[in-house]
Structure 1
Amino acid sequence: MEHYDQNVGEVTLSYSDDGAGHCIILLHGFCGSREYFNKIIPELSKKHRVIAVDLRGHGHSSTAKGDYRIEQMADDIAKLIQVLEIDKVTMIGHSLGGYVTLAFANRFSDMLHSFSLLHSTALPDDEGGKANREKGMKRIKEEGIEGFVEDLIPKLFAPGNLERLKGEVESAKQIGFKTSQYGAIGALEAMKNRADLQEVLKKEELPILVIAGREDQIIPAEKTFLHKGNHITERLLEHSGHMGMLEEPEKLTEIIFEFLEKNGKI
């Protein structure tokens, strides 16, 4: 996978760019990186151009100072797409990346062919969720990122997969340890303050794919499957928690191909 860096204003985004054809943009979750998608990129890039981006403060992308907002992260991606002179894309956002995808769809729908939420939700944090974000920010400030990531990552996998996917769990931890402390705190702040974007799911102009894991302990399926409509495709990964791209990569790839073919992008 070829890696590139592109300045998009106040940050430099690091990304991989593989394959040719209709462009899929992959956005990872909190304390993740584009490496989360390493199991699905080779297959997806046989039929499509696949760009996986490290969000600001994550992976190899730079860390901007100041407040972080989900809308800023969406703006970063819009600038990258414009610099690369890509027409309409399909954006697939995992968890935090899904919040960014929804904000992008709300602001730049003309740049999208379709979009997908993977283990994500259009709902904002409730009060308990906000309190947990605050706790996380405090812990990272006081102790650094390592202990936080060590506790977080196992919860992202279905309990039954922890032993079978020991290598993937360890790999996800190593990715998390590389997240900038400031970037992690900024992302927690951004998630805590994110808007309710359920209205974006109700707009029928774009095809939408929503994917949940039956054993997701972070965002249960009912928080992903919020709205019905002819423009919305719902898929459940039976043997996944919050990390379908690592827990069921073949099934996930099949679901994405099926969705794109149904919507005219073969």
Structure 2
Amino acid sequence: MSCIHFFEKGKGQPLILIHGYCETGNMWLDFAEALSNEFRVLCPDLPGIGNSPISGHQLSLEEVAVSLEEWMESNQIENPILIGHSLGGYVSLALLELMGNRIKAIGLFHSTAFADDTDKKAMRNRTITFLRKYGVEKFVTSFVPPLFPENRREELSGEIEDAIEDAKRCSLNGLIAFSGAMRDRKDRLELLRQYSGPKLLIAGTSDGAVKIEASRAQKDTFTHYFELQGVGHMGMIEQKSETLEIVREFCQAVISPA
């Protein structure tokens, strides 16, 4: 039996929304509600996040993918559409590698198929050191605001506070484990290129975590590609209506191709 905690809304084609780093499945509440009229929307907490347990402080994305596959089997989730934000995109790609054509479509939301470069790996190591020294609350309070464009942080202050509170539901072991898993993940661009199903990438031109240059470098790999002007790493909050419609139209196209 899977230990993955999740919530679901709606019936029909399964649509799995996978949260990012310093987030829980609750980040998708508004999306799940809006999409539940057309899809069976499922929002899991990854291991060590929210209400999903973790043992230890090390894991790989491949291990996470196995846990999610077992969770799908336990809950009769077949041929899902996967949409992953940031870390959730990396997890989605690991699932794609594991499950292949049992994945109906995949979407990366402010994410990338590239592996971490040397600078990013060093940053992950600094994150682990900081977490071990100062703990979750101090880390997420400093980590979350820069995910949003500086010129909109005052306007979005309420949403940022909500995101910080959600991030506090991540365990210390979970954040350390996923920092290492992201650092050590492999490049999956060729896997994505060979996958014949529908593929979505949503990128922000002001994203400080996944640079727009990296998104443009893999643009041709995707069947559906969108750039959000002036948007940082949190498009589902910064431009909720627009990104919701992008996801909805992508999923509609998947189940009813022209």
Which TM class, normalised by the smaller chain length?
over 0.9
**Which structure carries more helix by proportion?**
2
Corresponding residue number in structure 2 for 1:81? 72
Asked if residue 37 in structure 1 is aligned to residue 28 in structure 2, the reply is: yes
SS of corresponding position for 1:50: strand
Residue deviations 1:126-152 (CA, integer Å, cap 9, x gap): 111111111110111111112211111
Q: 94-103 or 242-251: which moved more?
A: 242-251
SS of corresponding position for 2:121: helix
SS of corresponding position for 1:57: coil
Q: Which amino acid aligns with 1:20?
A: K
Asked if residue 165 in structure 1 is aligned to residue 156 in structure 2, the reply is: yes
Alignment check: 8 A CA contact 1:202 1:227 kept: no
Summarize the alignment of residues 67-78 of structure 1 with structure 2, pairs less than 5 Å apart.
67-78=58-69
How has the CA–CA distance of structure 1 residues 233 and 135 changed in structure 2, closer, same or farther, with 3 Å as cutoff?
same
How has the CA–CA distance of structure 1 residues 231 and 190 changed in structure 2, closer, same or farther, with 3 Å as cutoff?
closer
Q: Which amino acid aligns with 1:81?
A: M
How has the CA–CA distance of structure 1 residues 172 and 66 changed in structure 2, closer, same or farther, with 3 Å as cutoff?
closer
SS of corresponding position for 1:85: coil
**C-alpha distance in structure 2 between counterparts of 1:262 and 1:119, whole Å:** 21
Q: How far 1:265 moved relative to its partner? A: 4.2
Corresponding residue number in structure 2 for 1:116? 107
Alignment check: 8 A CA contact 1:122 1:224 kept: no
**Which structure carries more strand by proportion?**
1
Alignment check: 8 A CA contact 1:207 1:231 kept: yes
Corresponding residue number in structure 2 for 1:219? 210
**C-alpha distance in structure 1 between counterparts of 2:110 and 2:188, whole Å:** 15
**C-alpha distance in structure 1 between counterparts of 2:62 and 2:50, whole Å:** 19
Residue deviations 1:56-105 (CA, integer Å, cap 9, x gap): 01111112225210111111111111111122100001000000001111
Asked if residue 49 in structure 1 is aligned to residue 24 in structure 2, the reply is: no
Corresponding residue number in structure 2 for 1:262? 253
SS of corresponding position for 2:177: helix
Q: Which amino acid aligns with 2:20?
A: G
Q: Which amino acid aligns with 1:146?
A: E
Asked if residue 232 in structure 1 is aligned to residue 223 in structure 2, the reply is: yes
How has the CA–CA distance of structure 1 residues 45 and 225 changed in structure 2, closer, same or farther, with 3 Å as cutoff?
farther
Q: TM-score, normalised by structure 1?
A: 0.92
Asked if residue 188 in structure 1 is aligned to residue 179 in structure 2, the reply is: yes
Residue deviations 1:208-229 (CA, integer Å, cap 9, x gap): 0011112111102232343355
Q: TM-score, normalised by structure 2?
A: 0.94
Q: 1:59 aligns with which of 25, 30, 50?
A: 50
Corresponding residue number in structure 2 for 1:131? 122
Corresponding residue number in structure 2 for 1:105? 96
Corresponding residue number in structure 2 for 1:3? none
Q: 1:17 aligns with which of 5, 8, 15?
A: 8
CA RMSD, 1 decimal: 1.6
Alignment check: 8 A CA contact 1:204 1:231 kept: no
Corresponding residue number in structure 2 for 1:176? 167
Q: 2:191 aligns with which of 200, 206, 209?
A: 200
How has the CA–CA distance of structure 1 residues 239 and 20 changed in structure 2, closer, same or farther, with 3 Å as cutoff?
farther
Percent of aligned positions that are identical = 32
Alignment check: 8 A CA contact 1:34 1:54 kept: yes
